[in-house]
Amino acid sequence: MTSSTRHARRLAAAIAAIGLSATVAATLPPAAAAAAPARTTDVRIIGINDFHGNLEPPAGSSGRVTLSDGTTVDAGGAVYLATHVKQLRAEVRNSLVISSGDNVGASPLTSALFHDEPTIDFLDSLGVLSGTVGNHEFDEGYKELQRMQFGGCHPTDGCQFRPTFPGANFPFLGANVTFDNGMPALLPFTVTFSGGQPIAVIGVTLHDLPSVVTPEAIEGLKFGDEVKAINNTSKLLDFFGIRAQIVSMHQGNNTEGGGPNDCKIAPGPAVDIAQKVSPSVDAIFTGHSHQQYNCQINDPAGHPRTVIQGSSFGRLLSVVDLKIDNRTHDVLRDQTTAHNEIVTRTVTPDPATQALVDEAKAKAAPIGNKTVGTITADLLKDGGTTGESTLGEVIADAQLEGTQSNNAVIAITNPGGIRADLNYASSSAGEGDGVVTYAEAFTVQPFSNIMQTITLTGTNLKNVLEQQWQAGGIVRVLQVSSSLHFTYSQSAPIGSKITSVTVNGQPLDPNATYRVSVNNFLAAGGDGFTEFTKGTDLAGGPVDLDAFTAYLTAHPNLAPPALDRVTATP
């Protein structure tokens, strides 16, 4: 039986069983009804989000959780996550595990080298019930997403991790993902029984997903409004009598500080959606923004509802405990409790997961442990007060150097493409302090984007820089090569923030042309930088990772550059 058939039969059986249980309950004599052991059933939902194939404990700041008082705790790693899940399951008999997207993609080499098959195996071992698709599930296109779901060897590389790949045991969900003709491209929901109670999980991904992936990856697909998709699906579930409804959504908000269980949440899409989604939905698990929060946000009827997110990379588990009325099958919302649990590294590693991780590490080691360069201090991905970062500047310089044959004078890269710090301290491979391995470089630049050099006018270039500030409070400060400097005003309105730009020390000429190197994601207008699509005379270059590793090799004992390329004024 195929995986798709199993998922379809599971849904059909669950819906049929709900109808049968309603019929039986209606015909039971009073004495039988009185014999019911309890009025409610406890069900625990355990959520993960944005795991990104982090089988090994993430390094540096990516492997720490910030507490409410500003202190940090080391967290993450599949062997510890598995133990925490088992402990949480042991506390509540009826427990379910769900994922809110980006399980795969932008992964470290240990998973990515094998097209994230080890990560799917790991999630299967956790007994994951459902996996909402995130934007990174589409990194290699819809066909690869289907292979992840239903199995089979990679069409180009074959099965490199194990002789066969069976695919995920859990369904991929996307209620708002359709083909161009309007037909569903993914299952909208899944239904299961826990403690005898029917529970539905509705999955949606971000409607603006086309802005964060390359166009060819989602050719033939459409991504609809999240609220409309959730509410239509919820109405269908209501019709079938499925009252306990959970939303697993790959969309989130940013925060303004706080610990894992604080609600210092900034305005944004997750809050907007939560305020509009049907009151039939009992809790909302979010993702995408890699933030930590545990909130109560009123639904359209004015009733508080849990909205939660658990950071990223397996550092937190979002836990929502429900009490379900055995008669109505609905969640008693006022008795819901929730918390984000830190995946501490002080628990005993799960043996089966340890064996899986060790296997992946051993098979990746011949490639991953190769030395590609040396550094004198940490190169950090997070920006300083102006948004520029030491690692971002190094990557932009590497991309400029790697595209000199295209006559490039400027290189620009997007901050979202930089996935981890490059740490001075030795990794677990034992290569030594300051030594950079291929695996570490890959973790920083895992997308294998192609460098492209385009010609922009000075006006185009200024417009690109203005697009760093977008509607809805979105700010993405681009990382630029040493040849480009700019100043922006923090108080100026969107569209007029850039006050000065220089190229190789000379003021930007609006009418002159400049050869600018960017990755193919930005060249296609990704992350809202649509001005790049006006570029002309496109010339191809190396893979961004290859440019990065070549630069590290060519510049041994590389020191962090000064953060002086971006200036902010009041």
Residue 383 is predicted with a pLDDT of 83
- CA torsion sign for 533, 539, 545, 551 is negative
Do 323 and 376 belong to one domain?
no
Instruction: Mark whether 300 and 393 lie in a shared domain.
Output: no
> Higher pLDDT residue, 73 or 38?
73
* Cβ burial 356-389 (10 Å sphere, 16+ → b, else e): bbeebbebbeeebbeebbbbeeebbbebeebbbb
Residue 34: in which H helix or E strand, if any?
Answer: helix 30-34
In residues, how long is the chain? 570
Residue 528 lies in a domain: yes
Q: Are residues 180 and 312 in the same domain?
A: yes
Q: Angle at Cα 146 formed by Cα 141 and Cα 150, nearest 5°?
A: 155
Same domain, 303 and 401: no
How many domains does the structure of the chain reveal?
Answer: 2
Is the pLDDT at 33 greater than 90, yes or no?
no
| 103 and 238 belong to one structural domain | yes
pLDDT tens digits along 177-229: 999 999 999 999 999 999 999 999 999 999 999 999 999 999 999 999 999 99
> How do residues 300-325 score in pLDDT, each as one tens digit?
999 999 999 999 999 999 999 999 99
Do 185 and 306 fall into the same domain?
A: yes
Q: Please report the pLDDT score of residue 472 as a whole number.
A: 81
Residues 148 and 280 in one domain: yes
533 lies in some domain: yes
Give the CA distances from residue 549 to residues 155, 346, 498, 546, in Å, rounded to whole numbers and listed in that order. Answer: 27, 34, 32, 5
**Helix residue ranges, H only, 139-268:** 142-150, 226-239
Whether 324 and 435 map to the same domain: the answer is: no
| pLDDT at residue 380 greater than cutoff 60 | yes
Considering only residues 7 and 123, tell me which one the structure prediction assigns the higher pLDDT. Answer: 123
Q: What is the pLDDT of residue 32?
A: 43
Residues 171 and 123 grouped into a single domain = yes
User: What's the whole-model pTM score?
Assistant: 0.89
Compute the mean pLDDT over every residue in the chain, rounded to the nearest whole number.
Answer: 93
Type of residue found at 151: G
**Residue 18 is assigned to a structural domain of this protein:** no
Q: In this structure, is residue 365 part of a structural domain?
A: no
Answer yes or no: is 8 within a domain.
Answer: no
Residue 283 has pLDDT above 80, yes or no: yes
Q: Would 32 be classed as within a structural domain? A: no
Do 336 and 440 lie in one domain? The reply is no
Domain membership of residue 526 (yes or no) is yes
Band of the pLDDT at 76, cuts 50, 70, 90? very high
Domain hosting residue 484, numbered range = 372-569
